Amino acid sequence: MRSLQAALPLLLLSFVSTVLGAPNEQIPHALARELLRRAAPDSPSGDYAPATVDCPSQKPTIRDAATLSPSESEWLQKRRANTIDPMVAFFKLANISDFDAANYVQSNSKNFSVIPNIGIAMSGGGYRALMNGAGFIAAADARTPGSTDAGGIGNLLQASTYLAGLSGGGWLVGSIFANNFSTIPQLRDGEDGSALWKFSRNILQGPKDSGLSILNTAEYWHDIAGQVDDKRDAGYGASLTDYWGRALSYQLINDRDGGPSYTFSSIADADHFTAADTPMPILVADERHPNEVVIALNSTVFEFNPWEIGSFDPTIFGFAPTKYVGSNFSNGAVPDDGHCVQGFDQYGYMMGTSSSLFNQILLQNISDSALPDFVTEAITSILESIGEDENDIAEWRPNPFYKYHPDTNGNANTELLTLVDGGEDLQNLPLHPLIQPVRSVDVIFAVDSSADTTFNFPNGTALRASYERSLNAIGNGTKFPAVPDAETFINLGLNRRPTFFGCNTSEFTSGSNNDVTIPPLIVYVPLTPYTAYSNASTFDPSYTDEERNAFIENGFNVATMGNGTVDSQWPACAACAVLSRSLERTGTTIPATCRSCFEQHCWNGTTDSTPVGSYEPQPILGLTALSAGMHIKAGSLVWAAVGAAGLALAL
């Protein structure tokens, strides 16, 4: 294996062109057209501000969270059926030698209690998370060139039911759906005159190109400030998140001026989505109670999906219709003399709410010469009105859960609902929506790009937070696999390779508890260096095209374990993880291949809590030519590429 790995840098020199498609190559004409059709600009104001509309004949209400919404339930019937063919293709590619997984699915194609139900969760972590997560999505997407070759995991995306993201991972999920469920190569390469995924221009300066316009920094911020002023003039509060969400949209939504009139609820009307040809997107945010500074594990976790916004937590236990979330709800309904509002779910504001931690980018650069005086004055004015301890909030006024469940809802008596970055409670993986028993998810591919260590690598903190939360009342009966400490993750290499948690279901069924709910198997896919050091600082706001492409490439390698070169059995093991809960439900004998995979990838309860010093992993495959010469920030140090054979740490 070592001799093979020594040769891999040379074998992988053409990775981007052969697997992801050559960067910036001419996009086929049909694919370029796909980028032009996106989530709908259906805000009734025609711009960023919400607007009052006539209420439907049945006024919007808050729905109890005991079940899934009728819209999601109806959609699932189509989606689960649409996952059959790609799941068969995924299993054929995986080639579990001693089990015909494709026939197993085909034989049970009418019985969704047998067919595996797959979720994918993309962690936060700023642009690092977006790009590393993009590599995983590219590997899982059958439309990506090379993803269905030997060693690939193509069709996993098409076989999945849910795709959740928060913060930087939410930017990825949001951008994919804002742009007609485009592929990663399409998003990466964009089109002429578009600022889409052009991260080399600092977000504070704004894009060189925006739709058909060419902006300088003053014009860029003038447009943003004007849009936020329109929202304020329409009677709605504005927070730093409004400015952040608008700036973010220029890079993530392929539309002139970042699509100010695009709404998140419009996804529900998109052709791909109504036909259930894509997974269901979910974004995650946390609630902050009045006068609360630290976001604790018992904070309410909110989810945003195309139909609804709300929480399964016992504090809220209800959902509001996304399309009408700006309406003046009271005690679960719009009053008879109340009015309805549309456009509050502006697309960039939704992504910004899930990533409100990045308001800090604005604050850290408030005196930057790139920010015009009128923007600095506007931000300063907001800070003066809310106080330093609330500078990370997104202000949702009116509160859709006003007077709703006042006995448990900490914000029930205020007309302001404050939401913050979904990772502020340490649950930096959006697992909460996917472990809800009503969704019956069997397996979650949890792509973790968290910066838990000195050099911005994950050590399982997000998993531990979700596990600890499940043990408390706020967990509301959800279950989560046991997870070891950070030292064990590093000492046993659990953060260097895909690791499965929850393999032994007796963990959930033993004892006197009659509740036999089995949570999903967690396939933990941590960011680790394969062909590039993609461990950039969470708050690094700009990346060259070469860095962007190398980060995506590294993420592809993480997802495929080097396209099968590090472990040729990985695709089969990923398939075994997908099958695990289904095989157990049906009493099917576990194939020897899967037993071997579980022995290799399942955490078996072993711990090693020996103190760990500085965690500085070496690249598993060595650098590709694309990475040579790159300088990627890692904390306060710089990882400097030295040739194609490795990296050296330079002060």
Task: Please give the sequence-ordered ranges of beta strands (E in DSSP) within 383-540, or none if there are none.
Answer: 394-396, 417-421, 443-448, 499-501, 521-526
- Report helix angle 240-252 to 168-178, nearest 10: 50
Question: Which range among 20-24, 274-278, 442-446 shows the weakest confidence by mean pLDDT?
Answer: 20-24
**pLDDT surpassing 80 at residue 634:** no
Question: Which range among 202-211, 514-523, 624-633 shows the weakest confidence by mean pLDDT?
Answer: 624-633
Give me the pLDDT at residue 92, please. 98
What kind and span of H or E run contains 641? Answer: strand 637-642
Q: Do residues 36 and 211 lie in contact, with contact meaning Cβ atoms separated by under 8 Å?
A: no
Q: pLDDT band for position 42 (50/70/90)? A: confident
Question: Residues 266, 158, 593, CA angle at the centre, nearest 5°?
Answer: 150
Which two tokens mark 156?
Answer: 């996993």
Domain ranges in the chain are 2-650
CA dihedral for 100, 105, 111, 116, sign (positive or negative): positive
Percent of the chain residues past pLDDT 70, beyond the cut = 83
Give me the pLDDT at residue 363, please. 66
Return mean pLDDT, the chain.
87
Beta bridge partners of 346: 263
CA distance 188 to 164: 20
Counted residue by residue, the chain has a size of: 651
Q: pLDDT band for position 543 (50/70/90)? A: very high
Q: pLDDT band for position 301 (50/70/90)? A: very high
Alpha helix (H) ranges present in 425-485?
A: 461-470
Per-residue pLDDT tens over the stretch 572-617: 999 999 999 999 999 999 999 999 999 999 999 999 999 998 999 9
Give me the pLDDT at residue 385, please. 53
Largest CA distance in the chain: 75
Task: Please give the sequence-ordered ranges of beta strands (E in DSSP) within 186-247, or none if there are none.
Answer: 209-210, 213-214
**pLDDT surpassing 80 at residue 51:** yes
Question: Which range among 140-149, 323-332, 502-511, 609-618 shows the weakest confidence by mean pLDDT?
Answer: 502-511
Give me the pLDDT at residue 6, please. 38
Q: pLDDT band for position 216 (50/70/90)? A: confident
Per-residue pLDDT tens over the stretch 559-568: 999 999 999 9
Per-residue pLDDT tens over the stretch 226-242: 999 999 999 998 888 99
**pLDDT surpassing 70 at residue 3:** no
Give helix then strand counts, H and E, for the chain.
21, 19
| 233-238: long-range contacts, CB 8 A cutoff, minimum separation 24 | 233/49, 234/45, 234/49, 234/50, 234/51, 236/49, 236/50, 236/326, 236/344, 236/397, 237/395, 237/397, 237/416, 238/382, 238/395
Report which of 164, 117, 157, 151 is spatially closest to residue 136, judged by C-alpha positions: 157
Give me the pLDDT at residue 211, please. 52
DSSP 330: B
Q: pLDDT band for position 366 (50/70/90)? A: low
Give me the pLDDT at residue 625, please. 47
Give me the pLDDT at residue 23, please. 52
**pLDDT surpassing 60 at residue 536:** yes
Q: Do residues 97 and 572 lie in contact, with contact meaning Cβ atoms separated by under 8 Å?
A: yes
Give me the pLDDT at residue 556, please. 98
Give me the pLDDT at residue 207, please. 79
Class of domain 2-650: alpha beta
Give me the pLDDT at residue 368, please. 65
* pTM (2 d.p.): 0.90
- Cis bond upstream, residue 145 (ω within 30): no
Which two tokens mark 45?
Answer: 């104001």
Q: pLDDT band for position 541 (50/70/90)? A: confident
Give me the pLDDT at residue 442, please. 98
CA dihedral for 2, 5, 7, 9, sign (positive or negative): negative
